[in-house]
Structure 1
Amino acid sequence: MGVMNELINRQNVETLAQVLGEAAPGSSWGHVAGAAAELDGLSLRARTDRISTALLADIRLMPEPGFPTAARTFRTALGSAGFTGWIIWPVSETAVTLALETGAGPDPAGDFDDCLALLAELTPRLTGEFAIRRLLDRDLERSLRVIQGWTGHPDEHVRRLASEGTRPYLPWAVRVPGIVLAPEATIPLLDALYRDPSDYVRRSVANHLNDVARNAPALVVATAERWLAAPDGNTAPVVRHGLRTLIKNAHPGALLLLGFVPASLAVTGPRLDRKSVALPGELAFDFEISNTGAADARLAVDYVVHYMKANGTTSAKVFKIGALTLAAGETRSVTKRHAFRQMTTRVHHAGVHALELQINGIRHGHTEFQVQV
């Protein structure tokens, strides 16, 4: 994470102060320049907040403080090649803070809409997906009306912002309760973008659809079914990626939509290469699948690790192996390795774990092993 923290560093903060000084002649950006020396030991998010606080302090010392002055300065700064990269994150957060302040100008509603427009202008320099969340939270309906228009924007970064910025569970970002509680609200955006010519945009659409699946699986399956009824050459992979969590969760509608129907199978394994794993370490396993039916079988093949928790119970996590098609009578052998190491996102506990296979949503071969920490 230390490398990530350095995405905002002393050099690019000093460059920001210089660029803004050139964009608004006669203005002082002393708080920003001073903040450049105050970043050591701070996370990337904390650095963003520190620089945004400095930006706000300097803007409030200007003759006409408030959002319109900040927006004018930031737009002028876009003429500089140095006004780019992760330093745009605190800039976008500052713009949103000012636009949302009570009495932030003669036309607060206009400031709100213009702030959305400003984020669209900034996002090609660095995504505005984090800052936009507070605008969505303040007035979801108003925001979505504007954002819907971005789905036809000529810049792929703006089109992606329409999808990525409105994701229900965007990583690193604050939650927007209105989107989580009304998952259907963002589907019109995805409908407009799932056939986008840019893979960058389509990946965001798939990830957004996967987010929606947490709370509204039926809505996601119905949406994917509509898309597959009016596809282009890229629709199938978008749908597969968007349904990935539902497939792991063995959702019947998602499995059926992707052609993973019940099949006659004989499964042998999994066979583990050891009965005990010491951290950090690996567990290798193999298994065979035989299609005992009379027709080809399309299979979603995953495996499940049942991790020991601190309270002595287990928690299952599904990992993807891939999709296979077996002809009638065909047998396929598969070998896989799974790593065990302590991570910030998963703390391992000693004790009995288990591994089993999941094929078209059906579990096979529950096999236990020990983990030593």
Structure 2
Amino acid sequence: MEPLKEMFNREFYVNFAHVFGEVTKDFHVDSFLGDVTRDMDTLSLNGRLRNTSHVLKKYLPTDYKRAVAILYEAAPSLPSGYTALVLPDYVALYGKQHFDLSMEALQYFTRYGSAEFAIREFLKTDLVKTLDVMHKWAEDSNDHVRRLASEGSRPRLPWSFKLTEIIKQPMLTQGILERLNADEALYVRKSVANHLNDHTKDNDSYMLKLVSSWDKANKHTSWIIKHAIRSLIKRGNKEALMIFGFENEVSVKLDNLTTDRTSLQLGDSLHFSFGLSSESEQEQKLVVDYAIHYVKVSGSRTKKVFKLREVKILPGQTIQFSKKQQFQDLTTRKHYAGEHQLEILVNGKVKGSIGFEII
């Protein structure tokens, strides 16, 4: 598989430079290409992104307003997606002394990729003033802009620094989340759910109180809440379980947890199955998950919980479950040889486990 940093390869830069050459005759295409690719092989994905912004600064007008105008003209002709983050990154690096112009630019450029990282530089510099703009973005007609209001203000956005003041005062973004808590766009709803899920790491009581006041009868709101509290449900948090009527204590018995093998190699899949039998005289709502205790490079284990199913089980009923889990290295997880553990969880409580080995 080609490394992600190859999104910024020579072919990309040739196209990138020619777009700017078409926009302004003062852009020196060949010199830019030489500068931006000189040490490219030594740079990571984000290193290439940042280097592009730095080199671009040398070839655009020194007047920020004129430079941003050229970025506006170039944006529609450049590839959308991750490489388009160069445009908001330029604004974050060089636009802090031009707040209003930079806010307008980020609102525009986020439609081509995302300005979620760039806006955080402004939040770090002037939290109150920037949040005031983002509250207005939450009412924008464009779903990319509405998502930016939520995603950019996440307390713990991956690949970025923490917003410590929002962690301390989670209500600072409450107005944004409440404006978006029934958004029609799934793109936006995912961001709102992840923003709320960030709060579970530091302010779970605040988050649960907030979502408990929302209208769960609305399908979009219900979807957001369910995804927002997923981590708490996996941990068996009583308040989170109660929001959707899941009992904290369930009366079920785990039957015949089995795997199709006791050892496997990297790239293999583990098939497992089990039954759950009701021991209650009442219908019960169950959240059934499973956890893998992965062996780390040190030999210790780390636990990862996976969602399986939500079911209703009747008195005396037995429900069968089966699942296939593949063991293959990912960018976010590397596997190591050793004794692993599979656990079955019902409403956050461990009901049984079984071991297996990666060799």
Q: TM-score, normalised by structure 2?
A: 0.90
Distance 1:37 1:347, change over 3 A: closer
RMSD: 2.3
Output one character per residue of 1:306-354: Cα deviation in whole Å (capped at 9) or x when no partner: 2233444332221111111112221101111222233342333333322
1:183-332 to 2 correspondence within 5 Å? 183-228=170-215, 231-261=217-247, 262-332=249-319
Matched, 1:33 2:33: yes
Residues 75-224 of structure 1 correspond to what in structure 2 (within 5 A)?
Answer: 75-78=72-75, 80-82=76-78, 84-100=80-96, 108=97, 111-224=98-211
The answer to which of 194-203 and 81-90 deviates more is 81-90
Unaligned runs of 5+ in 1: 101-107
1:74 maps to 2:71:
yes
2:349 counterpart residue number: 362
- Shift, 1:16, TM fit: 3.0
CA pair 169-32 structure 1, distance change in 2 beyond 3 A = farther
**2:52 equivalent to 1:51:** yes
Paired residues of 1:137 and 1:178 also in contact (CA < 8 A):
no
Counterpart contact for 2:19–2:77, Cα < 8 Å: no
Structure 1 pair 32–140 and aligned structure 2 pair: CA distance change class (3 A): farther
| Displacement after TM superposition at 1:27 (Å) | 4.8
- In the alignment, the residues of structure 1 paired with residue 25 and residue 213 of structure 2 have an alpha-carbon distance, to the nearest angstrom, of 54
Q: Say if 1:31 and 1:183 are closer, same or farther in 2 by CA, change over 3 A.
A: farther
1:101-123, CA deviations, whole angstroms, 9 ceiling, x for partnerless residues?
A: xxxxxxx3xx1232122110111
CA distance 1:70–1:180, change in 2 (3 Å) = farther
SS at match of 2:146: helix
Percent identity (aligned): 32
* Equivalent position of 1:347 in the other structure: 334
Aligned residue type for 1:13: Y
More moved, 268-277 vs 234-243: 268-277
C-alpha distance in 2 between matches for 1:285 and 1:344 = 25
Q: SS in structure 1 opposite 2:239? A: helix
Q: CA deviation at 1:41?
A: 5.8
TM-fit CA distance, 1:154: 1.1
- Once the two structures are overlaid, the 10-residue window that deviates more, 278-287 or 39-48, is 39-48
Distance apart, 1:165 and its partner CA? 1.6
Q: Distance between the aligned counterparts of 1:361 and 1:317, measured in 2?
A: 13
- Count how many residue pairs are aligned between Structure 1 and Structure 2: 357
Q: In structure 1, which of residues 335, 338, 341 is the aligned counterpart of residue 325 of structure 2? A: 338
- Distance in 1 separating the partners of 2:33 and 2:128: 38
SS at match of 2:323: strand
- Contact conserved, 2:284 with 2:314, CA < 8 A, in 1? yes
Contact in 1 for aligned 2:81/2:113 (Cα 8 Å): yes
Amino acid at match of 1:58: Y
Q: 1:308 to 1:33 in 2, by over 3 A?
A: closer
Q: Distance in 1 between matches of 2:356 and 2:82?
A: 45
Q: CA deviation at 1:22?
A: 4.1
> Which residue of the partner structure matches residue 17 of structure 2?
17
CA 1:138–1:259 in 2, change beyond 3 Å: closer, same or farther?
A: same
Q: Between 32-41 and 148-157, report the one with greater CA deviation.
A: 32-41
The CA distance in 2 between the partners of 1:368 and 1:71, in whole Å, is 58
Mark the CA change 1:19 to 1:341 in structure 2 (over 3 Å): closer, same or farther. Answer: closer
Secondary structure of the 2:274 match is strand
Whole-Å separation in 1 of the counterparts to 2:354 and 2:28? 67
After superposition, give the CA deviation of every residue in 1:113-160 in whole Å (9 maximum; x if it has no partner).
Answer: 321221101111221112222112222211111110001111111111
Compared CA separation, residues 18 and 277, structure 1 to 2 (3 A): closer
Structure-2 change in CA distance of 1:350 and 1:12 (3 Å): closer
